[in-house]
Amino acid sequence: METQVKEQKYINDIETAIDSKTSALATQAERAATKFDNRAQQVGNKVSDFLAQLPGNINRFYQEYKLPIISFALLVATVLALKITFAIIGAVNDIPLVRPFFELVGISYTVWFTYRYLLKDSTRQELIAQLSSTKKQMLG
């Protein structure tokens, strides 16, 4: 009987120790959760402030660097347009008999242009006048 009482007391002591450790761990877990919640709230506030200021920052950046941004966009658009154009020309040149036909058209136009504008002095003057007129129309 005495052994049972000792065993019961020993079990009670172990249960008390486990309960105290469990409550200590629970308290630590609650503190850690509270710290985590506080940090999460701080990060959330910082992200919220950043997102609230983002349109103003983008507008300020655009106003400050307007010319370089537009120049870069035009450069990218030009490169993209050239790549697309060369891809289309390459695809058309792969069609049988189209490449020789385009070469024939190009050679024919070059011969006509040379005969029409470059052989005689009067026609060269006419070409220069047309180019000057076009230049004035474009540049003002």
Torsion (CA) 43, 45, 50, 55 in degrees, nearest 10:
150
For residue 19, the model assigns a pLDDT of 67
- Cα–Cα distance between 89 and 81 in angstroms, integer? 12
What is the dihedral sign for C-alpha 27, 33, 36, 42?
Answer: negative
The pTM assigned to this predicted structure is 0.44
Total length of the chain: 140
For the stretch 96-138, pLDDT in tens is 898 899 899 999 999 999 999 999 999 999 999 999 999 999 9
Count Cβ neighbours within 10 Å for each residue of 3-30 and write b for 16 or more, e otherwise: eeeeeeeeeeeeeeeeeeeeeeeeeeee
For residue 1, the model assigns a pLDDT of 57
